[in-house]
Amino acid sequence: MTAFLASLAFVVLAEMGDKTQLLAMAFACRFRWQTVMWGVLVATILNHLFAVLVGNYLTSLIALSTLQIGAAISFIIFGIWTIRGDELGDEAKKDKFSPFWTVAIAFFIAEMGDKTQLATIALAAKYQTILPVWMGTTVGMLIADGIGIVFGIVMGRKIPERTMKWVAALLFIGFGIAGLYENVPADFWSLPIVLSGSAVLLLCMWLAARNATPSVAEQTACPVVESKLPLDEAKE
């Protein structure tokens, strides 16, 4: 249960402002929201199964403590990545197939090498289990992209996107720092290292904020930001 809940929480945090959340909002402007969610589900099941198998296999090659330190560092990187945000590429424009397959293929491609996939690999390596991590990350992805649709279209003006991204980023960085503290030997934490590490982290956060990408609404240019979710007909 711990692996499931941790995986769910980490993916929800990782998806705040992520490219796939942008895709969810963009596709919700064109297709039924049910179609978007089913496409996300299929793409996530396949993509994250691959990720947890890779992460679980790594534990047979590399010491667990080393993997946990690497996972903690990756969580800090994911937090900085969240502050900067993602840009919506050409995935949302690929509509050579039916709406369902358009969404599924776009999400699968967008997740390859994305921080959510990397987080899934790190979680599988950390907990050394497949099914709970796979299920947790899959459910987390559905929740996060559901939030992207609902908050982006219905409640975008009530909760600032910048606030959501910073909360998610700070939680991610906090978990990463806690992971380093638990797994790095105590004699490593000298005052100069702590101060220099903190300075580097703050600098990276400042640079990420300075070069942050445009908001979800600006990137998607969704014409239904203040309207209801599409329920029946695909939008032209």
CA–CA gap between residue 11 and residue 142 (Å, rounded): 10
Evaluate whether 42 touches 143 at the Cβ level (below 8 Å). no
CA–CA gap between residue 229 and residue 218 (Å, rounded): 18
pLDDT score of 221? 53
32 in a structural domain? yes
230 in a structural domain? no
Number of DSSP helices (H) and strands (E) in the chain, helices first: 10, 0
pLDDT score of 199? 94
pLDDT score of 30? 66
109 in a structural domain? yes
Host domain of residue 22: 2-216
CA–CA gap between residue 13 and residue 91 (Å, rounded): 22
pTM across the whole model: 0.57
Radius of gyration of the chain (CA): 18
Query: What do you get for the CA distance between the two ends of the chain, in Å?
Result: 43
pLDDT score of 196? 93
189 in a structural domain? yes
223 in a structural domain? no
Q: Which of 64-73, 120-129, 149-158, 224-233 has the lowest mean pLDDT?
A: 224-233
Amino acid making up residue 54: V
Interval 79-121: pLDDT, tens:
787 787 766 555 444 445 577 887 788 778 767 667 777 778 8
**Number of neighbouring beta carbons within 10 Å of residue 162:** 14
Domain count, the chain: 1
225 in a structural domain? no
Evaluate whether 32 touches 233 at the Cβ level (below 8 Å). yes
221 in a structural domain? no
Q: Which of 93-102, 121-130, 150-159 has the lowest mean pLDDT?
A: 150-159
233 in a structural domain? no
pLDDT score of 226? 39
pLDDT bin (cut points 50, 70, 90) of residue 232 is very low
